[in-house]
Amino acid sequence: MLEIGPGLGSLTLGLLESVERVLAVEIDELLADALPATVAQRMPARAGALTVITGDAMRIAELPHPPTVVVANLPYNVSVPVLLHLLVTFDSWQRGLVMVQSEVADRLVAKPGSKIYGVPSVKMAWFASSTRVGTVPPTVFWPVPNVDSGLVSIIRRPPPETSASREQVFAVIDAAFAQRRKMLRSALSGLAGSSAAASTLLEAAGVDPQTRGEVLDVHQFARVAEQIFRGSDEQPGRGGSPRTR
């Protein structure tokens, strides 16, 4: 179990009752230093099953054990980049449960056509199916935030079958949502070379050039990327820290 943001260790103690091993990543050095002592005091028999890593979850590139499950209490301002980084970097984990700001939870699970469907929704769909499974009121936190939190269940699945790379598909997603009201033929003109070229490529992918990115699912974005980057080895951007909107 990989736990992001264990804090004082309330959830960590519960996890140690149920799983073989917990890898806890904590950015706060004081909290990270205190966690092993807390576990040793309250659950001495399980103290050896805990590994604490002091660092930023958005920058960790390797772990002492491959995680199979992820649980995370993610800071609201970086929740989506951290989650996408974990999905990109550690493909061993197959399911997870994360707590994020309620609005972010809704965006992660949004479907095409929704007003809140956007970059986080499509990029999450590349990696996994996601479901909103609960709401956490602000009164359970200290200090008390001004927003509700949402619980999102994540089940990893294979990415779409496509000849385009993830970086190429994500570049198309980023461009499509850079200006939400633009039709795709205009939004993708920079990648395609012109609006006319974008129209031709979109039609080849089976997508109406006059539609907007909000109605495309991840498979359609992959088909568009295939057409735009066909025969190209170009890898626009890196997937470790995907841009979000």
Distance between CA atoms of 111 and 152, rounded to whole angstroms? Answer: 14
Tokens of 228: 């735009």
Q: pLDDT value at position 122?
A: 98
Q: pLDDT value at position 75?
A: 83
Co-location of 51 and 111 in the same domain: yes
SS3 238: coil
**What is the domain extent for residue 65?**
2-156
Query: Do 213 and 177 contact (CB within 8 A), yes or no?
Result: yes
What is the domain count for the chain?
Answer: 2
pLDDT one digit per residue (tens) for the chain, 245 residues:
999 999 999 999 999 999 999 999 999 999 999 999 999 999 999 999 999 999 999 999 999 999 999 999 998 889 999 999 999 999 999 999 999 999 999 999 999 999 999 999 999 999 999 999 999 999 988 889 899 999 999 999 999 999 999 999 999 999 999 987 899 999 999 999 999 999 999 999 999 999 999 999 999 999 999 999 996 666 664 433 333 33
Residue 244 within any structural domain of the chain:
no
Co-location of 146 and 111 in the same domain: yes
Amino acid at 162: T
Query: Do 108 and 121 contact (CB within 8 A), yes or no?
Result: yes
C-alpha Rg value of the chain to the nearest Å: 20
* CA end-to-end span of the chain: 29
Domain boundary pick from 122, 156, 190? 156
Burial letters for 7-19: b for 16+ Cβ neighbours within 10 Å, e otherwise? Answer: bebebbbebbeee
Q: pLDDT value at position 233?
A: 65
Co-location of 132 and 33 in the same domain: yes
Co-location of 47 and 84 in the same domain: yes
Strands 50-54 and 22-26, how do they pair?
parallel
Q: pLDDT value at position 236?
A: 67
| Torsion angles phi and psi, residue 156, rounded to 5 | -70, 145
Residue 202 Cα distances to 49, 198, 216, 225, angstroms: 52, 6, 12, 9
Q: pLDDT value at position 238?
A: 40
Distance between CA atoms of 12 and 33, rounded to whole angstroms? Answer: 14
Co-location of 30 and 88 in the same domain: yes
Strand partners, 2: 23, 70
Which CATH number is 131's domain given?
3.40.50.150
Length of the chain (residues): 245
Q: pLDDT value at position 181?
A: 84
Q: pLDDT value at position 142?
A: 81
